[in-house]
Amino acid sequence: MSNHVSSKLLPAPERLGSYSPDDVVFLLKNLSDVNLERGTEDREEAIQGGTHYSEMLPVEYKPTAEYLKLFHETLEATARKVARDAGIVSERLAARHGTDFVLASLARAGTPIGILIKRYFLAVYGAELPHYSISIIRGKGIDENAVLYMLREHPGRRIQFVDGWTGKGAIRGVLAEAKETMQSKYGIELDDDLAVLADPGRCSETFGTREDFLIPSACLNSTVSGLMSRTVLRDDLIGPDDFHGAKYYEEWLEDDVSNLFVDAVCSYFDEIREEAKAEAERLENLPEANVSSWQGMKDIARIQQDYGIADVNLVKPGVGETTRVLLRRVPWKILVDRLDNPNLRHILLLAEDRGVPVEVYPELTYSCCGIIKPLNGGQS
């Protein structure tokens, strides 16, 4: 690392979130005392009017008893599958890079998945991978101070970026830009490979599955992500020597299921080890599993054309993204591949709860797609 980098003033990590620091260290500035939340309609209007989504936060959705019950049922039904997919992506990483690298999960959907990978490496390989959660923001880029901090703490080690799932692949694009920026600015060589649990958008080469299923951690917001908010980047709050910011919702502690989720999944690691190893080996030798076809984006172009939507950011594909649309945006309609898809129970429940129409849209790569309402009368 150049002297210019090693002498740069970098912030020290704060103790944040409801996970153990053994599981993850958040490289984020604590903005818990700042009033950043805006109501859904108000926030939607601001975003579509040009305010960047990272400058404010949605009001956290307080799950109903029925919805929480659905989370617990989903966790029970899918914990083994999530464990297997986490095992597969971990085994693929081990086959390519051994056990000497740093995990950088992208806050916040990446954080629980990064913890699963970290714990898998510990359980199966006895390897203690450093794991940080850092901010990356569409349209603004990666938190450079966080990257520099990880490289300073772990010189010479490769950084592996981790996220929960892919939608349109926008974050993969931001990572590719970050790679260029870090190279030209600091002479640092980053690998923009993004390891994900699920890759329904077919835009990652490092995944556990490409099935668009409900990962239970996509059901909820902060209460399954260590009680952390989305990340925030605003000039009046974040200085040049700060990490990007986030809020820690300690007041939600009694509703927190973050550790419950990772513990439930990790309890299957012994059982799925051999299966994960075999499947990872099969995928590593399968040419189409090591390339990105970006098939999901072709679907989205078709949806934009069929529904007259000019702004691609209003189309949110996949179970995880559609859930987020229903929890914190103003949804216009939900498209599903078929109504009896077992991955869509919570989507249908949320859509009914919010009075959002659901339409069958055949031949979707994804299980479903959420469309945000264009606020300027249709065309956006």
Interstrand relation of 141-142 and 136-137 (parallel, antiparallel or unpaired): antiparallel
pLDDT score of 377: 55
265: pLDDT strictly greater than 60: yes
What are the residue ranges of CATH 3.30.1330.30 in the chain?
295-372
Q: How confident is the model at residue 3 (pLDDT cuts 50, 70, 90)?
A: low
Q: What is the pLDDT of residues 333-352, one digit of tens each?
A: 999 999 999 889 889 988 99
At the topology level of CATH, where does 295-372 sit? 60s Ribosomal Protein L30; Chain: A; (3.30.1330)
Share of the chain above pLDDT 90, in %: 73
pLDDT score of 5: 63
Q: What is the mean pLDDT of the chain?
A: 92
> Residue 264 has what DSSP assignment?
H
Residue 314 CA neighbour count, 13 Å, CB half: 26
Q: Enumerate residues 6+ apart whose C-beta is below 8 A from 298.
A: 365
Rounded to whole angstroms, how far apart are CA atoms 330 and 44? 7
107: left (phi over 0), alpha (psi -120 to 50) or beta: beta
106: pLDDT strictly greater than 80: yes
pLDDT score of 281: 97
pLDDT score of 378: 47
Q: Where are the alpha helices (DSSP H) in 3-59?
A: 3-6, 40-48
Nearest to 89 by CA among 218, 186, 195, 11: 195
pLDDT score of 4: 55
Q: What is the pLDDT of residues 189-221, one digit of tens each?
A: 999 999 999 999 999 999 999 999 989 888 888
Q: Enumerate residues 6+ apart whose C-beta is below 8 A from 363.
A: 337
pLDDT score of 328: 78
Q: Are 161 and 193 in contact (CB under 8 A)?
A: yes
Q: What is the pLDDT of residues 138-189, one digit of tens each?
A: 889 999 999 999 999 999 999 999 999 998 888 999 999 999 999 999 999 9
Rounded (to 5) percent helix, strand, coil in the chain = 45, 15, 40
pLDDT score of 220: 82
Q: What is the pLDDT of residues 107-151, one digit of tens each?
A: 999 999 999 999 999 999 999 999 999 999 988 999 999 999 999
Q: What is the mean pLDDT of residues 270-282?
A: 97
Instruction: Tell me the whole-structure pTM to 2 decimals.
Output: 0.93
Nearest to 295 by CA among 375, 379, 176, 204: 204
Q: How confident is the model at residue 16 (pLDDT cuts 50, 70, 90)?
A: very high
The phi, psi pair for 343, rounded to 5°, reads: -75, -5
Rounded to whole angstroms, how far apart are CA atoms 60 and 163? 21
Q: Are 266 and 116 in contact (CB under 8 A)?
A: yes
Q: What is the pLDDT of residues 284-328, one digit of tens each?
A: 999 988 888 888 889 999 999 999 999 999 999 999 889 888 987
Q: Identity (one letter) of the amino acid at 46?
A: A
* CA dihedral of 117, 25, 237, 323, whole degrees rounded to 10: 30
Rounded to whole angstroms, how far apart are CA atoms 199 and 239? 34
